[in-house]
């Protein structure tokens, strides 16, 4: 199965470090970040999970729940969590799915045979409250993820879902955004963007972020 943007995220029930877990019930009405790890007790993953735990308040502020996956079993996960907490000076505060049977990895296309026939690649999926897939990023196993970029994408998605804007290259929260080209009516433009806008080109119009004072 090849998962694509806009698809409905597959539901599943699987064992985890926090007990049997149904994915949809876990997410509820929240946004979700599901990210896979090649195996337990691996160095890059240890740093990633530790850093994710430290971002708990940032995720909560955005209404996001994080959930990890590795192909090892629950007991292995629990021992690994002890190592993560010790070495990363944190406390893992989200479940890690035990995907020994590769069920979830197959549903989410986390195994790339040309990279490894048994281990998951370093993939990450953002899922919105309607259970739609909004972002898929896949890194090689040797490269750790940039979680500040993940937060930036969540900020962009939540902003652009509610306003007729898009975010330009390297955009950060609070910076100017782009008005979508389909919006052409001047009366609507004035209503939606009372701070005005700058037309660099007819198709490139910049305006202050609309949900900021």
Same domain? 135 vs 34: yes
Is residue 135 domain-shared with residue 191, that is, in the same domain? no
Condensed to tens digits (0 to 9), the pLDDT of residues 57-83 reads 999 999 999 999 998 999 999 999 999
Consecutive H or E run containing 162: helix 147-162
Q: Is residue 151 part of a domain?
A: no
**Structure tokens of 63?**
């209404």
Among the three residues 115, 144, 173, which one is the final residue of a domain in this structure? 144
Structure confidence at residue 2 as a pLDDT band (50, 70, 90): confident
Query: Do residues 197 and 113 both lie within one domain?
Result: no
* pLDDT digits 0-9 by tens, 117-175: 445 557 899 999 999 999 999 988 788 999 999 999 999 999 999 999 999 999 999 99
Tell me if residue 184 falls in helix, strand or coil: coil
SS3 of the chain: helix, strand, coil, percent, to 5: 30, 25, 45
Residue 192 pLDDT: 93
Question: Rounded distance, CA 85 to CA 113, Å?
Answer: 32
45 classed as catalytic: yes
Which range is least confidently modeled, 23-27, 61-65, 87-91, 103-107?
103-107
In a domain, 79, yes or no: yes
Distance CA 32, CA 22 (A): 13
Kindly name the residue from 9, 21, 45, 69 that is annotated as catalytic.
45
């Amino acid at each position: 199965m090849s998962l694509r943007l806009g698809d409905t995220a597959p539901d599943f029930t699987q064992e985890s470090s926090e007990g049997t877990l149904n994915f949809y019930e876990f997410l509820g009405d929240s946004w979700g970040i599901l990210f896979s790890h090649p195996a337990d007790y691996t160095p890059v993953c240890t740093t990633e999970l530790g850093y994710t735990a430290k971002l708990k308040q940032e995720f909560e502020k955005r209404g996001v729940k994080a959930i990890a996956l590795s192909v090892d079993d629950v007991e292995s996960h629990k021992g690994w969590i002890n190592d993560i907490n010790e070495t990363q000076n944190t406390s893992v505060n989200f479940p890690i799915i035990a995907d020994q049977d590769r069920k979830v990895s197959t549903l989410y296309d986390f195994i790339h045979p040309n990279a490894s026939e048994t281990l998951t690649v370093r993939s990450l999926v953002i899922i919105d409250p309607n259970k739609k897939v909004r972002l898929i990023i896949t890194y090689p196993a040797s490269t750790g993820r940039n979680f500040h970029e993940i937060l930036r994408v969540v900020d962009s998605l939540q902003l652009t879902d509610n306003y007729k804007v898009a975010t330009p290259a390297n955009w950060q929260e609070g910076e100017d955004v782009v008005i979508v080209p389909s919006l052409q009516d001047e009366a609507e433009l004035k209503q939606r963007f009372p701070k005005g806008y700058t037309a660099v080109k007819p198709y490139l119009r910049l305006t202050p972020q609309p949900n900021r004072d």
